[in-house]
Amino acid sequence: MPYTEATLMEVYRYGVSAPVGLPKSTTRDMTFRGFKIPKNTMVMVNQWAVHYNQDHWDEPFKIKPERFLDASGLQLIKPTESYMPFGLGRRSCLGENFAKGEIFILFCWLFGRYSFTKVPGREGESLIRKDESQGLTQYHPYPYEVIVRKL
Ligand code: HEM
């Protein structure tokens, strides 16, 4: 179970389904890292940059569920503030708990009952190629084929 959870946490980090958070607006004049931001300026969090920040993540472009597990592999490590798949603060995702619960159940159901293998002759093909065209929900996968067998 911890490995399953760590895998999903890594999917949320790597997949960063919302590369930029929803637009927000500053409520007062402020300074952030030397930049003056006037009141009522639209600001957006670059979650993609946070999730792929090489200063905070070891090999951010690799999928490594182990990064969320301790040395025993049995305990989940609490993610740092460089992890925000559902945004942060008062206006973070309203559906976070619902989404996480549903995805966990679906994921366990699928991988507990079926095996997924690549199509013979196309084993070298990556299934995680991502459509990098810009959009609010960037990074959806291109269509792909796999062989699904009931276990
Ligand atoms: C894996 C699934 C999901 C991910 C990764 C996700 C991610 C996000 C992110 C990043 C935001 C913007 C937060 C911010 O700007 O700080 C957001 C907002 C929101 N999400 Fe989700 N979301 C997911 C599923 C859902 C579901 C299933 C629902 C509803 C049932 C939902 C409802 C909302 C709502 C209502 C907001 C706007 C919150 C506000 O502005 O106050 N989300 N989500």
Q: Which has the minimum average pLDDT: 11-25, 32-46, 100-114?
A: 11-25
Give pLDDT tens digits for 21-39: 889 999 999 999 999 999 9
Q: What predicted TM-score, i.e. pTM, was given to this entire model?
A: 0.89
Which residues have CB under 6 Å of ligand 1?
Answer: 17-18, 21-22, 85-88, 91-95, 98-99
Ligand 1 atom having least distance to the Cα of 15: 5
pLDDT of 136 strictly over 70: no
Q: What is the residue-averaged pLDDT of the chain? A: 90
Q: How many CA atoms lie within 13 A of 34 on its CB side?
A: 0
Q: 93 among the known binding-site residues?
A: yes
Ligand 1 atom having least distance to the Cα of 21: 15
Q: Tokens in use for 144?
A: 């792909």
pLDDT of 47 strictly over 80: yes
Report the nearest-CA residue for atom 21 of ligand 1.
Answer: 93
Residue extents of the structural domains in the chain = 2-114
Mean pLDDT over 58-77 rounds to 94
Mean pLDDT over 80-109 rounds to 93
Q: Please check whether residue 93 is in contact with residue 122, taking contact to mean a CB–CB distance below 8 angstroms.
A: no
pLDDT of 18 strictly over 70: yes
Report the nearest-CA residue for atom 18 of ligand 1.
Answer: 93
